[in-house]
Amino acid sequence: MSDEFRLGETTLRVYLLLVREGRAMSIREVQKALGFSSPGQAYHHLERLRLLGLVIRDSDGYRAVKKDGVLEGVLIVRTAILPRAAFYLGFSSTLTVAYVKCAA
């Protein structure tokens, strides 16, 4: 992945917040939700996401735009964002336990 599309941890947290909320959020809402010390921090990350084409800004605030490949490693279930590997780990663990109990 090229450096221009690489997201830092905090920028990714902002993007995931917008995806999870599923609505436009103002800079101050993002600041409060993620505990930033100033609105400038939220603005910096929102603008980075906007320049990458991952969010759009409209009259209501910033809104996430889902792009192919950005969230390929996660599953979105209602408002929860889960790593895809966690699903497979849970599924295979359940099958293993069921197999061991049946074999005993």
Its pTM stands at 0.67
End-to-end CA distance of the chain: 47
Residues of the chain with pLDDT under 70: 1-6, 67-82
Domain at 1-72: CATH code: 1.10.10.10
pLDDT value of position 69: 62
Q: Distance of CA 55 to CAs 38, 51, 58, 70, 81, Å?
A: 20, 8, 10, 12, 18
What are the residue boundaries of the structural domains of the chain, listed by start? 1-72, 75-104
Task: Give the three-class secondary structure for 76.
Answer: strand
